[in-house]
């Protein structure tokens, strides 16, 4: 009887690691394509159908505008996006910008006061949350970070892979063009890209996400929305949608 070759301890360990990483690869790919399922399965969140759709669009497109009435859950959905994206894409850096610091920190407050109590897994992912006069940020254990900035000239030093502007119609257009968009100077750089076999691997696009209530046609934001619609129709990486107040009533968010 021919004895079977026995694996060494190091070979057994490597085999286990390979199986685990194969599973991680499969699930990461699945959840990146289906972030609404990740929010439900891993974070334990229950999202309305329209929230699931918009969350998917936030992942799919590099440029997005979400317009919604009061009760449309813009801040809550942006909080869900920040947590989901930072977990699924390690070493991400999201800049939350708005005209006032208080408005931008409301998204971090949503994470701290609504999402964290509901999700034990999210509590395990977050290393630190800090909100004070000097700093407002969320640090994740995988290297991702969400930072609050005020849309002023003094914010020029910041860098990001994702720019998220809340109530963008209230921000000066020149500040968006000359300050906020300049944050997006580099793409996320996972460590595997340094390996020779991945030198031709496509790089991830940076993201620009805007959320606001609607405003007048005479305002500069209307032309921005029009340009997004045109690019979306032409099949580019743009998405724009508007949710009227009837939807908020239908979902029980407004009386």
Name beta bridge partners: 207. Answer: 162
Q: pLDDT class for 13, splitting at 50, 70, 90?
A: low
- CA 36-237-162 angle, to 5 degrees, is 65
**Cβ neighbour number for residue 244 with a 10 Å cutoff:** 13
* Predicted local distance difference test score (pLDDT) of residue 87: 95
The CA R_g of the chain, rounded to the nearest whole Å, is 21
pLDDT at residue 22 above 90? Answer: no
* Predicted local distance difference test score (pLDDT) of residue 144: 95
pLDDT at residue 219 above 70? Answer: yes
Quote the pTM value.
0.88
* Predicted local distance difference test score (pLDDT) of residue 94: 95
Average pLDDT over residues 175-197: 86
* Distance of alpha carbon 228 from alpha carbon 166, whole angstroms: 17
* Predicted local distance difference test score (pLDDT) of residue 65: 97
pLDDT at residue 158 above 80? Answer: yes
* Predicted local distance difference test score (pLDDT) of residue 123: 95
Average pLDDT over residues 24-35: 89
CA 140 vs CA 5, 75, 87, 236: distances in Å: 44, 20, 8, 32
Q: Look at 8-22, 66-80, 112-126, 206-220 and tell me which has the smallest mean pLDDT.
A: 8-22
* Predicted local distance difference test score (pLDDT) of residue 244: 85
pLDDT at residue 187 above 90? Answer: no
CB 172 within 8 A of CB 216: no
pLDDT at residue 126 above 70? Answer: yes
Average pLDDT over the chain, rounded to whole?
Answer: 88
* Predicted local distance difference test score (pLDDT) of residue 121: 95
Q: pLDDT class for 160, splitting at 50, 70, 90?
A: very high
Q: pLDDT class for 43, splitting at 50, 70, 90?
A: very high
């Amino acid at each position: 009887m021919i004895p079977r070759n026995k694996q060494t301890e190091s070979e057994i360990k490597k085999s286990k690691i390979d199986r685990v990483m194969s599973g991680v690869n499969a699930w990461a790919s699945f959840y990146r394509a289906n972030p609404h399922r990740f929010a439900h399965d891993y974070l334990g969140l229950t999202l309305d159908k329209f929230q699931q759709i918009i969350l998917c669009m936030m992942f799919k497109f590099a440029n997005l505008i979400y317009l919604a009435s009061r009760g449309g859950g813009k801040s809550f959905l942006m909080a869900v996006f920040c947590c989901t994206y930072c977990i699924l894409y390690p070493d991400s850096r999201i800049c939350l910008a708005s005209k006032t610091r208080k408005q931008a920190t409301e998204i971090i407050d949503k994470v701290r006061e609504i999402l964290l109590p509901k999700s034990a897994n999210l509590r395990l992912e977050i290393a630190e949350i800090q909100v004070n006069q000097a700093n407002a940020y969320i640090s994740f254990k995988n290297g991702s970070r969400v930072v609050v900035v005020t849309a002023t000239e003094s914010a020029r030093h910041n860098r990001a892979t994702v720019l998220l502007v809340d109530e963008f119609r209230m921000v000066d257009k020149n500040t968006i063009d000359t300050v906020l968009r300049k944050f997006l100077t580099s793409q996320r750089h996972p460590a595997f890209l340094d390996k020779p076999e991945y030198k031709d691997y496509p790089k991830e696009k940076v993201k620009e996400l805007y959320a606001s209530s609607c405003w007048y046609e005479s305002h500069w934001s209307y032309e921005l929305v029009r340009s997004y619609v045109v690019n979306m129709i032409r099949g580019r990486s743009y998405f724009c949608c508007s949710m009227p107040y009837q939807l908020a009533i239908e979902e029980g968010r407004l009386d």
